[in-house]
Homo-oligomer: A and B are copies of this chain.
Amino acid sequence: MTTPDRAKKTPRRTAERILDHSLALFNRYGEPNVSTNAISADLNISPGNLYYHYPAKEVLVNALVSRYEQALTEALVAAGPADDAEGAWNLVPGLLRLAWDYRFLFRDLNDLLTRNRQLETRCQAALALQQAAVRERVVRLCVIDGLPLTSEEASALSVSVVVLLTYWLSYEYVRDPRRALEPDNADAAVRHGTRQVMALLWPYLSAELRRQLRPGGPAIRPSETPSSLPATG
Binding site for B on A (CB under 8 A): 29-30, 32-33, 107-111, 113-115, 117, 120, 123-124, 127, 144-145, 153, 156-157, 159-160, 162-164, 166-168, 170-171, 173-175, 177-178, 195-196, 199-200, 202-204
Contacts and interface: CB of A to CB of B under 8 A. Distances in A.
B109 A30 contact: no
A76 to B, nearest CB: 19
Contacts of A123: 174
Contact of A171 (B166, B199, B202): B166
Identical chains bound together, number: 2
A199 B203 CA distance: 12
B124 A175 contact: yes
A111 B200 contact: no
Contact of A199 (B156, B170, B173, B196): B156
A97 B160 CA distance: 19
Contact of A173 (B30, B107, B110, B164): B110
B113 A110 contact: no
A177 B117 CA distance: 9
Given A29-B114, A33-B114, 7 more contacts: A108-B111, A109-B174, A110-B174, A113-B173, A113-B174, A113-B177, A167-B167
B114 A157 contact: no
Contacts of A168: 163
